[in-house]
Amino acid sequence: MIVTLVLGTLIGYSLGVEAANFFTGMREQSLLSSPLRRVLSVMVISLIPGFGATFFFLYQSRMADVEAHAETLRRQAAETQLRLLESQLEPHMLFNTLANLRVLIGMDPARAQTMLDHLIAFLRATLAGSRAERHPLQDEFARIADYLALMQVRMGARLRFDFDLPETLADVTVPPLLLQPLVENAIKHGLEAHVGGGTLRVRAARDGDDLLLDVEDNGAGFDPSAVPTPGGGFGTTQVRERLAVACGPDARLEIRRREGGGTLARIRMPVPAPAPAA
């Protein structure tokens, strides 16, 4: 770079003097035939801005490379954390289901067999799709439906559920199993604790540039200000961490009591791009 600047200054100055002499008729001395003092003065005056501009753009380029590398490392760390959180969630859900199945085997073997069939179908679908970073919202709702079918075998008529997924949001992508912990909490804290059971509603809606995902029940209700029991709070903590990793600070989870009883858990996140066509 230094050689290029020096040669460029010498050649550029000399060509400039020759061009000026040609158009003006003057006989200005070229740099090569000028006194050494003049040569040094011209070189210093010319090279200072040249070196300054060179180092400025070199610094900018290196800073861009460093930032790109840091962003790659941040993305890799976020993806690793997301995989870890998913690996924690799947056994958590499975252990809960197996514990329920164990109780049901002694009480009603026929219903236990039906529940086991649902569990096999649910795990097959989960293992096939849970290794992706994101999947369409319609797939998320389908898995929730499989899981609720499992719970309905055990709870019977005490568990009712309905879904509201607009067609325009069906292909919007979300992290897999994002709603699973909220559905589990709604059953555990809301519907199972309620003598008459209740209805679980899972909804998706758009609010401007935000996607709203609601898990709502009309059961016993959950107090979000209550101190969690040891080992509790896994579901909501897991959802918040996954939102932070996958969507950044613009995504959040809100939990509040419903008027008339029950709980509403709402995820608010930026609307991501639809899943690419297969």
The CATH number of whichever domain residue 235 belongs to comes to: 3.30.565.10
Q: How far, in Å, are 139, 171, 213, 234 from residue 182 at the CA level?
A: 16, 21, 10, 10
Instruction: Give how many domains the chain has, as a whole number.
Output: 2
Q: State pLDDT tens for residues 165-192.
A: 999 999 999 888 889 889 988 988 888 8
Neighbours of 274 (CB within 10 A): 14
Do 154 and 57 share a domain, yes or no? no
Residue 70 resides in a domain: no
Do 202 and 131 share a domain, yes or no? yes
Which residue, of 28, 63, 98, is where some domain finishes?
Answer: 63
Do 113 and 6 share a domain, yes or no? no
Residue 91: helix, strand or coil by DSSP? helix
Which residue, of 63, 89, 105, is where some domain finishes?
Answer: 63
Residues 184, 163 contacting (CB under 8 angstroms)? no
Whether 11 has a pLDDT exceeding 90, the answer reads no
Do 85 and 163 share a domain, yes or no? yes
Residues contacting residue 244 through CB under 8 Å, at least 6 positions apart: 251
φ, ψ (nearest 5 deg) of residue 148: -70, -30
Do 189 and 264 share a domain, yes or no? yes
Number of residues written out for the chain: 278
Do 108 and 223 share a domain, yes or no? yes
Give alpha helix (H) positions in 108-196: 109-129, 137-155, 180-185
Residue 277 resides in a domain: no
128 vs 3, higher pLDDT: 3
Whether 200 has a pLDDT exceeding 80, the answer reads yes
Residues 128, 97 contacting (CB under 8 angstroms)? no
Residue 170, both tokens? 């069906």
Do 153 and 110 share a domain, yes or no? yes
Which residue, of 35, 63, 91, is where some domain finishes?
Answer: 63
Do 85 and 136 share a domain, yes or no? yes
Residue 276 resides in a domain: no
Residue 71 resides in a domain: no
Do 59 and 83 share a domain, yes or no? no
**For the residues 82-94, what does the mean pLDDT come to?**
59
What percent of the chain has pLDDT above 90?
Answer: 18
Residue 268: helix, strand or coil by DSSP? strand
Do 32 and 87 share a domain, yes or no? no
Residue 69 resides in a domain: no
131 vs 266, higher pLDDT: 266
C-alpha torsion angle, residues 174, 94, 112, 265 (rounded to 10): -50
Residue 244 resides in a domain: yes
Looking at residue 153, what DSSP letter applies?
H
Do 173 and 203 share a domain, yes or no? yes
**For the residues 86-108, what does the mean pLDDT come to?**
73
Q: Which domain holds residue 8?
A: 2-63
**For the residues 31-50, what does the mean pLDDT come to?**
72
Buried b (16+ CB within 10 A) or exposed e, 51-87: eeeeeeeeeeeeeeeeeeeeeeeeeeeeeeebeebbe
Neighbours of 155 (CB within 10 A): 16
pLDDT band, residue 33 (cuts 50/70/90) = low
The predicted pLDDT at position 227 comes to 42
Residue 196 resides in a domain: yes
Residue 256 resides in a domain: yes
